[in-house]
Amino acid sequence: MRLILKNGIVYDPINKINGEKMDICIENGKIVEDVRNAKIIDVKGKLVLPGGIDVHSHIAGSKVNWGRLFRPEDNIRRLVKRGENIRGGSGYSVPTTFLTGYDYARLGYTFVVSPAMPPLLARHTHHELNDIPIIDKATLSLFDGNWIAMELIKEGETEKLISYVAWLLKKTKGFSVKLVNPGGTEAWGWGKYIKYLDDQIPYFDITPRDIIRALTRVCEYLHLPHSIHLHCNNLGNPGNFETTLETIKTVRGIKAKNRQVLHLAHVQFHSYGGDSWKSLESKSEEIAKRINKQKNVTIDTGNIIFGETTTMTADGPLEFHLHLLTNFKWINKDIELETSPGVTPFIYSPKSPVHSIQWAIGIELALLVDPNKVIITTDHPNGGRFTEYPRIIAWLMSKKYREETLKKVNTAAERRGILPTINRELTFYEIAQLTRSNPARVLGLEKYKGHLGAGADADISVYEINPQKIETNDYETIIKSFSYSYLTLKSGKIVVKKGRIIDHPYGKTYWVDAKEREDVTRTLHEYFTKFYSVRLSNYAVQKDELRKSERICVE
């Protein structure tokens, strides 16, 4: 299919295009320099951006499914009937697979990374990802409590560890290495609680610092497109910003070719000062300073949105503490020798001093950190639903909207944060960086994703807003126009028109095929017969189990 998007106002940070009036030509699902006999769509006075990319959103996997199963009251909150081009679905904070795909497409997002897949449950995760229409997706394999990896780190067998990571990514069709509270879940299984980077993990006698360092190096040896994706220790506790700063320092001196070596997820939950809930304060300034100073680190924000949601993470102890805090229902599942995710509902209330500070920190981080290094996320559904991204964009773009919200929330946000003192308002170019080009760079996919130059995939979103005429005080228009894209193109096909789904092709699943140094199957065989409940031969996800597989070979 050949298409020309005419006269749109284009923002494309990777190609340094800042609000120019341009035509975009599309042929065979790719963006090209020029095209003949094409259908012309006039998008005059409208904002044209590359398709959005979400680097951290729990959309598939076993814990997402548990969230759906144990929250029927969340399902009934939002029921969508079958329509002309769409299937029915339900779910407010944890939508069904089809709704997830439709909602992302309506937002103008076309690539989503599901950040936590227990390797043992990779088959489930991939079959669920297969079910999500429209968007491209990738998923990260969890290594935080992996006995084999920890044993190899303890023994100091680097070559074997490299081969094991490569083998596991290949067999589980993972995209990169995810660490959630490294060592924390394993220690919790022994009744211990790890808070700091130098706490010992029982039996293995290594520390979270060892795990982070070893696996960061492995990622660089293997030349993975995405770096290590880290959910730091000590999440959500007052005073945890020191742990975060310490974690950033652990990767000092490690270099990568043209990307970061450490991506910190949902940093908002890791930027708290004070020593108790009563004295909790924002430390976003310190964190932002450190990140701006150190070249090889990027972050995503993890903003919170007021309202009810479901929290789900592979950080089992955290979910248990949340459950004790709220007394709401809670699930935990121990995944043999790998990890231990938990799920519990949560309500962020604007009246609560803690929650209002959390809200402010998320915004502060996005405003203070270098716009080349930060990405907007809500850690869906932990901080809020991904459908609330337009509101975050509006908070970043409009000081007036921030001030109005500050009036409605607990005064603690004003007293113990620095949000009122920040006058910065992000431009459309910077928003494009935060939602398009940065994620593409961080994931190492900037060749095909996140830009509109020739050779890129034709994933494009067009919004009904004129960036040259809009005033930042008019935040309602910003929210409204970013909530429903005027046009979303996926691989050159129009999938959304004026906020309505008109087509639902299936996207690809990206995974990494890295090179093993040596054959590890013999060591693994021992482990599997001794400890695992499955056989080694049944562990791997076959390539034809993915609906549309996109293999990325790395040398």
Partner 1 sequence: MRGVILTLKEIPKIHIDVEGILPKTIKNKRKNEIEDLKILYGKEIVKLGDFFDVEKTSENTLIFCGNLERVKRIGFRMDEGIIKIEGNAGMYVGAFMEGGKIIAHGNVGSFSGLNMKGGEIIIEKNAGDYLGAAYRGNWKGMSGGNILVKGNGGRETGAYMSGGKIVIRGKCGTFTGVGMKGGVIQTTRASFGLGASMKKGYIIVEEEIEDLLPGFIYEGEVKNPEIEGEKLKGKYLIYSGDHAERGTNGRILVKCRT
72 binds partner 1 (CB under 8 A): yes
Toward partner 1, which CB reaches closer, 308 or 334?
Answer: 308
**Shortest Å distance, C-beta 267 to partner 1:** 31
79 binds partner 1 (CB under 8 A): no
Toward partner 1, which CB reaches closer, 190 or 328?
Answer: 328
Rg of the chain over CA atoms, in angstroms?
A: 22
**Shortest Å distance, C-beta 77 to partner 1:** 10
**Shortest Å distance, C-beta 333 to partner 1:** 18
Toward partner 1, which CB reaches closer, 329 or 415?
Answer: 329
Q: β-pairing, 47-50 with 460-463? A: antiparallel
Cβ–Cβ < 8 Å for 222, 176: no
**Shortest Å distance, C-beta 388 to partner 1:** 22
**Shortest Å distance, C-beta 116 to partner 1:** 23
70 binds partner 1 (CB under 8 A): yes
**Shortest Å distance, C-beta 98 to partner 1:** 17
Which of 335, 316, 342 has its CA nearest to residue 141? Answer: 335
Toward partner 1, which CB reaches closer, 323 or 399?
Answer: 323
The tally of CA atoms less than 13 A away on the side-chain side of residue 369 is 32
CA distance 48 to 27: 18
**Identity at 15, one-letter amino acid code:** N
CA distance 514 to 169: 8
CA distance 6 to 154: 59
76 binds partner 1 (CB under 8 A): yes
**Shortest Å distance, C-beta 324 to partner 1:** 11
Toward partner 1, which CB reaches closer, 72 or 156?
Answer: 72
252 binds partner 1 (CB under 8 A): no
Q: β-pairing, 136-142 with 272-273? A: unpaired
Interface of this chain with partner 1, residues 476 to 495, rule: CB under 8 A: none
**Shortest Å distance, C-beta 527 to partner 1:** 38
Residue 111 pairs in a beta bridge with 53, 136
Among 27, 54, 74, 285, binds partner 1 (CB under 8 A): 74
| Interface region with partner 1, contact rule CB under 8 A, candidates 67-75, 420-428, 475-483, 537-545 | 67-75
Report the 10 Å Cβ neighbour count for 357.
29
71 binds partner 1 (CB under 8 A): yes
x/- track of binding to partner 1 for residues 326-365 (CB under 8 A): -xxx------------------------------------
- How big is the site for partner 1, counted in residues (CB under 8 A)? 9
Report the 10 Å Cβ neighbour count for 177.
26
Report the 10 Å Cβ neighbour count for 189.
15
Cα separation values, 364 from 25, 291, 424, 427, Å? 38, 14, 10, 16
Toward partner 1, which CB reaches closer, 20 or 73?
Answer: 73
**Shortest Å distance, C-beta 446 to partner 1:** 43
| Interface region with partner 1, contact rule CB under 8 A, candidates 66-74, 131-139, 239-247, 312-320 | 66-74
Residue 113 pairs in a beta bridge with 138
Which of 381, 171, 186, 156 has its CA nearest to residue 266? Answer: 381
Residue 310 pairs in a beta bridge with 345
Among 34, 42, 73, 518, binds partner 1 (CB under 8 A): 73
Interface of this chain with partner 1, residues 310 to 329, rule: CB under 8 A: 327-329
Cβ–Cβ < 8 Å for 434, 374: yes
x/- track of binding to partner 1 for residues 10-39 (CB under 8 A): ------------------------------
83 binds partner 1 (CB under 8 A): no
Burial zone of 403 (CB within 10 Å; 0-12 exposed, 13-18 middle, 19+ buried):
exposed
**Shortest Å distance, C-beta 101 to partner 1:** 23
Burial zone of 522 (CB within 10 Å; 0-12 exposed, 13-18 middle, 19+ buried):
exposed
CA distance 381 to 287: 24
Residues near partner 1 (CB under 8 A): 70-74, 76, 327-329
